[in-house]
Amino acid sequence: MSSLEERLTELEVRLAFIDDGVAALNAAVAMHDQTMLALRLELDRLRSDLVGLRSTLGNDVGNEPPPPHY
């Protein structure tokens, strides 16, 4: 092989390695995006449940008297 062919082969190998790395990172980002979306939906559901629970119990923190040590 000539020096130019060796350099070209080396560049092709590096490009293939970079392409594999980018594909793996893209898959990881897509998975994290799905996880974040699921967590946001769960957080919204928990907030809604908490608001419902507070209204059901009738405990409004603003209406409570301060503790005795104040």
The pLDDT tens digits for 8-29 are 999 999 999 999 999 999 999 9
> Where along the chain do its domains lie?
6-34
The pLDDT tens digits for 30-69 are 999 999 999 999 999 999 999 888 888 876 666 777 888 8
Q: How far apart are CA 48 and CA 52, in angstroms?
A: 6
The pLDDT of residue 42 is 98
Flag whether pLDDT at 70 surpasses 70.
Answer: no
Identity (one letter) of the amino acid at 39? L
The pLDDT of residue 5 is 95
Q: How far apart are CA 11 and CA 32, in angstroms?
A: 31
